Chains A and B, each alone.
Chain A
Amino acid sequence: MDKSRRQFLKILTGTTVAATVVPKAAEAASANKHFEGYPDGLGVLHDTTRCIGCRQCEEACNKVNDLPKPEKPFSDKFVFEQKRRSETGVFTVVNRYDGVGPNGEDVFRKFQCNHCLEPACGNACFVNAFKKTKEGAVTYDASVCVGCRFCLLACPWSLPAYEYDNAYSPVVVRCTLCRPRVLEGKLPGCVEACPMEALTFGKREDLLKIARDRIKKHPDRYIDHIFGENEIGGTSWMYLSAVDFNKLELNTNVGTTPTPKFTAGALGAVPMIVGLWPVFLTGVWAMNKRKEKIAADEKATAVAAAVEQANAEADEKLKAAQEKANKAKEKAIDAAVKKALKDAEKALAEEKA
């Protein structure tokens, strides 16, 4: 009994120590560290005060990615009457926001994947179709995609689209940041085409410097905030605006916590749980088993002893009874003998008379 208790305490101490050490390691690897992007990771700064809605970026993206020609030409400005988003064969669109400018003018904004530093789509994808690359682009591997569309749900700005009209092999539709072109040293298609340089391409850390510089030099022109600097942990595609970003359908209410961090704690604890709990529970089971065995043994011994004792007592009782019976018999014999003698004497006496 004492021996098993000591064992139990040893196991318990070991588990506690491990439980405090391992989570720290897990957290350090996932939850507490703030990933600021790969060094030299690239991005794009979109200055909405410069965008004039010429749609050259849409045309260039269409050309560079060999996408099908759209119904209406890219010079058509009537498409702005409705808000559009990415769809089959359309990676990026420009939307017009009527009258939201500081002087009542229209503001244009380009819509495309923001290539977050810690993408929510990648976090949600259970087949690892999304990868954040060193160049800054978040790539999508259509060959492993199962079409669950969790990525559409996970994206805080609902940026990816899905080919619902493709019956046999639909894929997710999103901007690729022209990674193949970037690796060749070229500019992304949209960036190259923009006549106003509303899209600035470069290292993310440089883009932040440029943005801050612009805000400093023209404080009357910009809201003092770079959208994407910290939103949802930071994005590679950042925005400057003269008006509240929410008016351009850039939701600022997404917090600064990167999406994976919400589940990193729990997920980080899984290896520890999977590794240690079986051991712990096995130990408990083993101890219980041993306890039962010991109990069974003790019971058997006790039963045997009791039986033996009972037998001995029974024997003694029998003996005593037998002796008693013998004694009584002898007494009876004696009495009978005495009586017989007495009778014989009596008969003799009578005969004599």
Chain B
Amino acid sequence: MKNRNNSVFLMCFGLALLALVLSFASACGDSDSRILKERADLLILDGMKIHGELERAPVQFKHDNHTLRLEAEGQGCSVCHLANENGTRSIRFMRIGDVSGKQQMEIYHNYCIGCHQQRLDLDKDSGPVTCGDCHKNDPEYIAAQAKIGFSKTIHYNHIKAMNYNCVTCHHETLDQNTGKPRCDKADAEAIANNCQPSGYETSCRDCHMEKAIENRSSIRDASHAMCIDCHQKRGEDSLKTGPVICSDCHDRNKQILFKKPGKVPRLKRYQPDKVIIGSGNVTDELNRLAKVEFNHLAHENAVENCHNCHHGQMNKCNSCHTTKGDIKGGRITLELSMHAMNEKGSCVGCHNVKKKEKDCAGCHDLMPKHEMPKSSCTSCHNHHENEVLANNKVHDNDTATQTEDSLFKNIPEQIDISQLEAKFDAARFPHKKIILALKSGADKSKLATHFHGDDETLCMGCHHHSPKGTSPPACISCHNKPFDEKDLNRPGLLGAYHQQCIGCHKSIGMKNPTDCAVCHTEKK
């Protein structure tokens, strides 16, 4: 009996110890703490997903490793990528079309493991041959392909290299059999036939969507097939060419190395200099507000890629974004597409991004972000139906022409702020210097001068919550005691001064914005 009690006790103690050890082990062995390394060439092979639930972890395939190794041994893409009927290369592995699940698995296993095994037999360095070495449960890497867009600069590099032979890439211009233009006008018929008349070549994304449609490949397939094939061939002909391996395009550090010619001429597509933006439908009774005169030329110069605004297809905005919202436009109304505050593709959204630049942020960072100032509506909605503007120009409130004399004569050079003198001497405020700096910063940007209207607006950066004018109120008129229950959000004078000044200095990137001595010396 005594022995039995002992053994029971030992068993319980053992179990308790085991539980303790396991709880520690599970707490320490946390795989979340491992940082995965980024690779621009990493492809996650999980295409078998379409055939059912994956039995094993997806394979992490390092594409560049394979490309570079084969290139060093004098072999090319054809080792893995078969040729299509029309001569282009299939970007799938050892197959052209869709195959069944079993076939797909066998293709991968036979060719991957087969090749690796062959190389091992020849004593060359090789890849995994066992299941777990490819289907890793604890992946080391994470796929980090930076997006690459066909910006104006890249497009210009290409048309120069191709000697302005558009049809090489814009392959729908010419009939592939006869070599003649498929259409000569950009009318409804042409658009219906996906034809791009010469001079109206459009973006790849107009036809090649995210997913393949019948025999029209997806944008991913099409761009890789077109771009890499061409770059490869030119490389073989020892011509100046572009990237061929994944990371040379999709690694952000490599993207910075792309050639940047000084000034890129305008991408000609018979696009207008000025557009009147409305709902596009003259009978639309909702189209009542004054229309917007949009300076298309100025905006072309301001962005790198047409897709910033013409996201997806190169159509007019209101062809998809109707006044009431259409399924084509994702049910986004015309109003929202223009005014959405946080979307880079909307007018207001992009302008808000611009306001974060150093020249603008000093004033604009301090302003509330949740709504647009009501006064800014007419800065854009200013098209009067019967007015005719000369030379395709738009209403432009160009204030850059105003000179210092006109407005800033009466601004004091320096103000000594002494209302709160206690520990520190009076603060020296170089008023004129600051307003002139603001003006020179704002004048650099046509966006700024258009919306500011006149220079008096600049005063409102600090003299806020008051009407525009040449003699705005002093700070102490509104800011006195802090924490007043009647106006909870208004700071007291001390807080107002420091929040305004230091806030601006931080936003413009001033060095040591919080150094007290820069503004006021300590009293001895």
Q: Tell which of A187, A201, A210, A218 touches B368, judged by Cβ atoms closer than 8 Å.
A: A218
- Complex contact B488–A210 (CB within 8 A): yes
Interface bits A43-55 vs B (CB < 8 Å: 1, else 0): 0000000101110
Contact yes or no, B370 A216, CB < 8 A: yes
- Chain A residues within an 8 Å CB radius of B499: 50, 196-197
7 A–B pairs (Cβ distance < 8 Å), ordered by A:
A50-B499, A196-B498, A200-B482, A201-B483, A203-B485, A206-B488, A209-B488
A220 in contact with B369 (CB, 8 Å): yes
Near A by CB (< 8 A), chain B positions 341-380 give 368-370
Among B368, B488, B495, contact of A196 (Cβ-Cβ < 8 Å): B495
Tell me if A219 is interfacial: C-beta within 8 Å of chain B: yes
- CB neighbours of B494 from chain A (8 A): 195, 197
A89 to chain B, nearest CB (A): 22
User: What 1/0 flags go to A121-132 for Cβ under 8 Å of B?
Assistant: 000000000000
| Given contacts A50-B499, A195-B495, A196-B495, A206 and B370 within 8 Å (CB-CB) | no
Nearest neighbor of A216 in chain B, beta-carbon distance:
B370
The residue that A217 contacts in the complex, of B368, B485, B491, B516, with Cβ under 8 A, is B368
Interface membership of chain A positions 191-214, coded 1 if the CB is closer than 8 angstroms to chain B and 0 otherwise: 100111100111100100110011
Q: How far is the CB of A105 from chain B (nearest CB, A)?
A: 8
CB distance from B361 to the nearest CB of A (A): 11
Contact with B485, one of A53, A191, A202, A216 (Cβ below 8 angstroms): A202
For B484, the closest partner residue in chain A by CB is A202
**Is A187 within 8 A of B370, CB to CB?**
no
**B485-519 vs A, Cβ < 8 Å mask (1 yes, 0 no):** 10011011011011100100000000000101000
Residues of B within 8 A of A52 (CB): 502, 514
Tell me whether A187 and B483 are in contact (CB under 8 A).
yes
Check if A217 sits within 8 Å of B369, measured CB to CB: yes
Q: Are A219 and B369 in contact (CB under 8 A)?
A: yes
Query: B516 touching A54 by the CB < 8 A rule?
Result: yes
The number of residues on chain A lying at the interface, defined by a beta carbon within 8 Å of a beta carbon of chain B, is: 24
Return chain B residues, CB-CB under 8 Å to A219: 369-370
Name the residue in B482, B485, B489, B499 with the highest tally of chain A Cβ atoms < 10 Å from its Cβ: B482
Contact assessment for B514 and A202 in the assembled complex, using a CB-CB cutoff below 8 Å: no
Give the residues in chain A near B502, CB-CB below 8 Å: 52, 196
6 A-B pairs with the lowest CB-CB distances in the bound complex, closest first = A197-B495, A217-B368, A52-B514, A195-B498, A196-B498, A197-B491
Q: Is the CB of A217 within 8 A of B370?
A: yes
List the A side residues contacting B497 at CB < 8 Å: 195
In the complex, A191→B494 CA distance in Å?
11
Q: How far is the CA of A7 from the CA of B404 in the complex (A)?
A: 104
Contacts of B516 in A (CB 8 A): 54
How far is the CB of B490 from the nearest CB of chain A, in Å? 10
Considering only residues 39-74 of chain A, those with a C-beta below 8 Å from chain B are: 50, 52-54
Name the CB-closest residue of A to B356: A220
Q: Which of chain A's residues have a CB closer than 8 A to the CB of B482?
A: 187, 197, 200-201
**A50 contacts across to B, CB distance below 8 A:** 499
State the CA gap A187–B368 with chains docked (Å).
28
Please name the residue on chain B nearest to A209 by beta carbon: B488
A168 nearest CB across to chain B (Å): 37
CB distance from B367 to the nearest CB of A (A): 9
Residues of B within 8 A of A195 (CB): 494-495, 497-498
**Are B498 and A210 closer than 8 Å at their CB atoms?**
no
A-B contacts besides A196-B495, A196-B498, A217-B368, 16 pairs, CB < 8 Å: A50-B499, A52-B514, A54-B514, A187-B482, A194-B495, A196-B499, A196-B502, A197-B492, A200-B482, A201-B482, A202-B483, A203-B485, A206-B485, A214-B489, A216-B370, A217-B369
Chain A residues whose C-beta falls within 8 Å of the C-beta of B491 in the assembled complex: 197
Residues of B near A220 (CB, < 8 A) are 369
Contact with B along A213-230 (1 / 0, CB 8 A): 110111110000000000
Closest B residue, CB atoms, query A52 = B514
Interface string of A328-349 (1 = CB under 8 A from B): 0000000000000000000000
Complex Cα spacing A36 to B497, Å: 35
Complex alpha-carbon distance, A202 and B482, angstroms: 10
Closest to A202 in B: B483
CB neighbours of B483 from chain A (8 A): 187, 191, 200-202
Q: Assess the B488–A202 pair: CB atoms within 8 A.
A: yes
Q: Distance (Å) between the CB of A30 and the closest chain B CB?
A: 33
CB closest chain-A residue, reference B509 = A103
Among A197, A203, A216, the most chain B Cβ lie within 10 Å of the Cβ of: A197
CA distance A197 to B501 in the complex (A): 13
Chain A min CB distance to B98 (Å):
45
Distance between A209 CB and nearest chain B CB, rounded to angstroms:
6
Within B248-271, the residues touching A (CB, 8 Å) are none
The distance from the CB of A39 to the nearest CB of chain B, in whole angstroms, is 14
B11 shortest CB reach to chain A, Å: 33
- Chain B 284-319 against A: per-residue CB contact (8 Å), 1 yes, 0 no? 000000000000000000000000000000000000
In the complex, what's the smallest C-beta–C-beta distance from B514 to chain A, in angstroms? 4
Q: CA separation between A206 and B351, bound complex, in Å?
A: 34
Closest to A196 in B: B498
The residues of B that contact A196 with a CB separation of less than 8 Å are 495, 498-499, 502
Instruction: Enumerate chain A residues within 8 angstroms of B498, measured Cβ to Cβ.
Output: 195-197
| Least CB distance, A333 to chain B, in whole angstroms | 76
CA–CA, A194 to B368, complex, Å?
23
Distance in Å: Cβ of B484 to nearest Cβ of chain A: 9
State the Cβ distance, B505 to closest chain A Cβ, in Å: 11
A195 to B369, CA, bound (A): 24
Q: Are A213 and B369 in contact (CB under 8 A)?
A: no
CB closest residue in chain B, given A47: B499
Residue of A nearest to B366 (CB): A218
B131-143 to A contact mask, C-beta < 8 Å, 1/0: 0000000000000
Q: How far is the CB of A298 from chain B (nearest CB, A)?
A: 42
Chain B residues with Cβ below 8 Å from A210 are: 488-489
For B491, the closest partner residue in chain A by CB is A197
Closest partner residue, chain B, to A218 (CB atom): B369
Within 8 Å CB of A54, what residues of B? 514, 516
- Taking CB as reference atom, which chain A residue is nearest B481? A187
* Residues of chain A contacted by B489 (CB below 8 angstroms): 210, 213-214
Q: How far is the CA of A280 from the CA of B486 in the complex (A)?
A: 60
Bound-complex Cα distance A210 to B491 (A) = 11
A209 to B488 Cα, complex, angstroms: 9
Given the known interface contacts A200-B483, A217-B370, the answer about A53 and B514 at a Cβ–Cβ threshold of 8 Å is yes
Q: What B residues does A213 contact at CB under 8 A?
A: 488-489
- Chain A residues lying within 8 Å of B369, measured Cβ to Cβ, are 217-220
**Bound Cα distance A214, B492 (Å):** 16
1/0 per position for B452-489, CB-CB distance to A under 8 A? 00000000000000000000000000000011010011
B134 to chain A, nearest CB (A): 37
